[in-house]
Amino acid sequence: MNILYDDNMPYAEHFFPELGNARAFSAGHLGPQDLADCEALLVRSTSKVDKTLLDQAPKLKFVATATAGFNHLDLNALKQRNITWYAAGGCNARAVAEYVISTLFTLAEKEQFQLSRKTIAIVGVGNVGSTLSKLLNALALKVIEYDPPRALRDSDFTSASFEDVLNADVISLHVPLVNTDEVPKAHHTYHLLGENELNKLKPSQIVINACRGEVLDNEALLALANEKSQSSTKLPELLPTFVLDCWENEPYINKALLPYVRYATAHIAGHSLEGKANGTEMVYQALCQFLKQAPKTRLVDFLPAYSVDTELLAFLAQPKNRYANQTIVANCIKSLYDIENDDSFFRHHMAKSETFSAIRQNYPIRREWPAATIKIKANSAGEQVANILEKLGFSLFYDTQQAQ
């Protein structure tokens, strides 16, 4: 089988050669000469698989994307050609959930509020939403879940009301983009937060979009921000706190929004090494199934070990504030991922040119929490924080020699 795979799929060179003649390509550089003999095309979201591309690939039998989302695949065109397709749903669910939680801990430290007193609304309880809910519930935080379509198909699931969502302290968006006649209009997610909904939000609320840009009406948000800025010089006090990882019209986003967004990133919430590599492995397994071959290669054999500087974290100094444990956990999380770094990098480069796609494609390695081992002192304070860190998935090493 002739296989073409995106060169931005981690470890692809280890997975696919055993299944046929496998060659890498760079997104945006697929030509007729590459596609003429291609039988399996393995992409990421930066490659649009539409009728134009399919017309150049007469031998194509299998298409897969190593991403959870599949808006870049023309499913109707694939169906017309009787081409089997696959998307790696859930591959980066933990990465996105960690992005949201790390953002909340960062905001809590900056604004000096206690997360345990906040109600967090998860909008969309699929792979990502469920993972986020599990982690937040493990931390004993107050979570409400909104997903009417799931409630219809799952008798064990009860959805909150949308009014509950709009009244929550934190609104975290994790729905697919749905805007087709095949789905009831009540379940459409295009501009789920539109002009009407945005105007109902209070300045004290936090809104995080880490799903699809079109779920939040960017133009309505900009209009609201402009309206508020004309009525007051204290704009941050009049708008909710917005954290946008996903934007309308990517990669050509409306940069006029940037001054009104607390944290802005380039659709990288799911871009952990594990999240991207999981996508590669899931596509490999799907292709094995398509070819009726037993999988022989495993991701665990390639992921590098990771360690956090044991002199950096946890109990070198007990924070002197009323949220001591929260501060320690925030520092541990920040050692693996600091959204402020991504925000600063994004703003700096987007101010100079249209670099959204380049930022995504060249995003540095980020590891997930279970890859890290943190040294903990064996004392009573350490036990409290250790319990929190274990629930988040960190591996712990108890340093009994330095116990006090």
DSSP secondary structure string for all residues of 260-276: G-SEE-SS-TT--HHHH
Among 3.30.479.30, 3.40.50.300, 3.40.50.720, 3.40.1410.10, name the CATH number for the domain at 93-264.
Answer: 3.40.50.720
Q: Which of 39, 195, 219, 250 is catalytic?
A: 250
In the three-class reduction of DSSP (H, G, I as helix; E, B as strand; rest coil), residue 158 is classed as: coil
Phi and psi angles of residue 240, each rounded to the nearest 5 degrees, phi first: -60, 165
CA distances from 31 to 76, 85, 159 (A): 22, 20, 46
Q: Which of 94, 174, 262, 267 is catalytic?
A: 267
pTM beyond 0.85, yes or no: yes
The pLDDT value given to residue 377:
66
Among 3.40.50.2300, 3.40.50.720, 3.30.1370.170, 3.30.9.10, name the CATH number for the domain at 324-399.
Answer: 3.30.1370.170
DSSP secondary structure string for all residues of 318-334: ---STTHHHHHHHHHHH
Q: Let me know if 182 is a catalytic residue.
A: no
**pLDDT tens, residue order, the chain (404 aa):** 999 999 999 999 999 999 999 999 998 889 899 999 999 999 998 899 999 999 999 999 999 999 998 989 999 999 999 999 999 999 999 999 999 999 999 999 999 999 999 999 999 999 999 999 999 998 999 999 999 999 999 999 999 999 999 999 999 999 999 988 888 888 999 999 999 999 999 999 999 999 999 999 999 999 999 988 876 655 556 899 999 999 999 999 999 999 999 999 999 999 999 999 999 999 999 999 999 999 999 999 999 888 665 444 544 445 556 677 888 888 888 888 999 999 999 999 998 777 898 898 889 989 999 998 877 765 655 677 788 888 999 888 776 665 44
Structure tokens at 255: 């940069």
The pLDDT value given to residue 317:
45
Question: What CATH number was assigned to the domain covering residues 2-87?
Answer: 3.40.50.720
Asked if the domains 2-87 and 324-399 are classified in one and the same CATH topology, the answer is no
Q: Let me know if 109 is a catalytic residue.
A: no
The pLDDT value given to residue 381:
58
Q: Let me know if 29 is a catalytic residue.
A: no
The pLDDT value given to residue 274:
96
The pLDDT value given to residue 336:
87
Spell out the domain ranges in the chain: 2-87, 93-264, 324-399
pLDDT digits (tens, 9 = 90+) for 267-297: 999 999 999 999 999 999 999 999 999 999 9
Structure tokens at 300: 């665990």
Selection from 400, 404, 340 nearest residue 376 by Cα:
400
Q: Which of 212, 262, 271, 366 is catalytic?
A: 212
